[in-house]
Amino acid sequence: MTNPLNALNAETLNAWNANAEVWDKRMGDDGNDFFNILCWPALASFLDAQPDSKILDIACGNGLTTRRLAELGCTVTAFDFSANLIEYAKQRTAFHASLITYHILDATNEEQLLSLGEAKFDSALSNMALFDMAEIEPLFRTLPKLLKPGGTFVFSITHPCFNNASSMHVVEEMDDGEIKTVYSIKTSRYMTPYSMRGLALRNQPKPQVYFERPLQAYLNLAFQNGFVLDGFEERAFPPETPQTTPLGWGGKFSEIPAVIVARLRLKT
Ligand SMILES: C[S@@+](CC[C@H](N)C(=O)[O-])C[C@H]1O[C@@H](n2cnc3c(N)ncnc32)[C@H](O)[C@@H]1O
C-alpha cells in the first residue's frame, strides 16, 4: 500500500520549488518580522552558538539562519529538499562560503539524513519548518545519531494552539462602559493531526501543505527519542509592532503567541 504522506511530501516539494523565488525575495538577506522579532532572539539565545560550533541547519530555505550562524563563526551544514531554494541560498552566501556547506536532502528520508555524518554536530536548528514536513518521525529518530552526546536541537514552529491552519483572526467590539475593539484567535482543530493547504506569503504562486500536530506530538516524539526539554518560549509580538495587514499577526495580537521556540537536549 502506498503511503499517502509520500504524495503530500511530493506536493510539498513541488510547492516549495514553485514558491522559491517569491520566498527568497520576501526573506532576502535579513528576514521578516516573524523571524527578527519572534524567532531569532530566542533561537540565538537557546543555541548559545560559539565560534567553531558545528551546527546542522534543517530545512534552511534560502539560508537565512545559516548565514546568521556563520556570522557568529559557526561551521554550518545546511540542507533543504528544494533545489531551487538551495540555489538561492548559495547565491546569497558569497561572504561566508568557507563556513557553510549546502545539501539538497529530504528530512523525511532517514538514509539521506544519516549521510550527513554521525555524532558530528553540537546542535541542530530548524526555524519554522517542522510543520511544513509531511513526516517528522524520521528526523527525530535520526537526530540522536547526528548529534554529539548531550547535543541540542533548537526549533521554532507556529504555535500549535493559536497559529495553526484552522485559526481564524477575529475582531469584535464590546461595550464595558467604553467601546473597545477586541482582537482574538478562534480555533476549531487541535488534538488530531491534520494537513491543510495554505499560504505562507500572500503572493506565492502555489499553496503549500501545512502539517498540523498538537504540541504533545512534538514533545512526546522528542522524549521517546532520548531528548529532554530544557528551553521553552512562547513568542508574541510586542503591542507597538505595526500591523502589515488589518487582521494579520502584529501588535494587535500581543497577548497571543504566534510562535513557540524550544530547546531539546540529548540525555547523557
Ligand atoms: C517556512 S520555510 C523555512 C525556511 C528557513 N528555515 C527559514 O527560516 O527561512 C520551510 C522550509 O521547509 C522545507 N521543507 C519542507 N519539507 C521538507 C523536507 N521534507 N525536507 C527538507 N526540507 C523541507 C521547505 O523547502 C522550506 O524551505
Residues in contact with ligand 1 by the CB-under-6-Å rule are 12, 16, 27, 59-61, 64-65, 80-82, 85, 106-108, 127-129, 132-133, 200
| pLDDT for the residue 3 | 77
Q: Is 112 helix (H, G, I), strand (E, B) or coil?
A: helix
Q: In whole angstroms, what is the distance from residue 253 CA to residue 27 CA?
A: 22
Taking the domains of the chain in order of start, what are their residue ranges?
Answer: 4-160+191-238+257-266
| pLDDT for the residue 198 | 83
Alpha-helical regions (H) of the chain: 4-27, 33, 40-47, 64-71, 83-91, 110-114, 137-146, 215-224
252, 255, 258, 262 alpha-carbon torsion, rounded to 10°? 150
Phi, psi for 160 (deg, rounded to 5): -60, -25
Helices 4-27/83-91 angle, 10° precision: 20
Give pLDDT tens digits for 229-264.
999 999 999 999 999 899 999 999 999 999 999 999
Q: Which of 3, 12, 16, 106 to mutate to test the pocket of ligand 1 (most atoms within 8 A of CB)?
A: 16
Q: Which of 36, 82, 213 to mutate to test the pocket of ligand 1 (most atoms within 8 A of CB)?
A: 82
| pLDDT for the residue 199 | 87
Say how many Å lie between the CA of residue 127 and the centre of ligand 1.
8
- Contact (Cβ atoms closer than 8 angstroms) between residue 88 and residue 20: yes
Q: Whose CA is nearest to atom 8 of ligand 1?
A: 127
247 CB-side CA count, 13 A: 12
Say how many Å lie between the CA of residue 129 and the centre of ligand 1.
5
- Where the chain has pLDDT below 50, the residues are none
| The C-alpha cell that represents 120 in the structure block | 558530528
Q: How far out from the chain centre does Cα 80 lie?
A: 12
Q: Which of 58, 80, 259 to mutate to test the pocket of ligand 1 (most atoms within 8 A of CB)?
A: 80
- Contact (Cβ atoms closer than 8 angstroms) between residue 28 and residue 63: no
Q: In whole angstroms, what is the distance from residue 23 CA to residue 104 CA?
A: 17
Q: Whose CA is nearest to atom 14 of ligand 1?
A: 59
* Range 4-160+191-238+257-266: architecture per CATH: 3-Layer(aba) Sandwich (3.40)
Q: Which atom of ligand 1 is nearest to the CA of 108?
A: 19
| pLDDT for the residue 1 | 56
Q: Could you tell me the pTM of the whole model?
A: 0.96
- For residue 75, give the nearest of 96, 54, 57, 101 by alpha carbon: 54
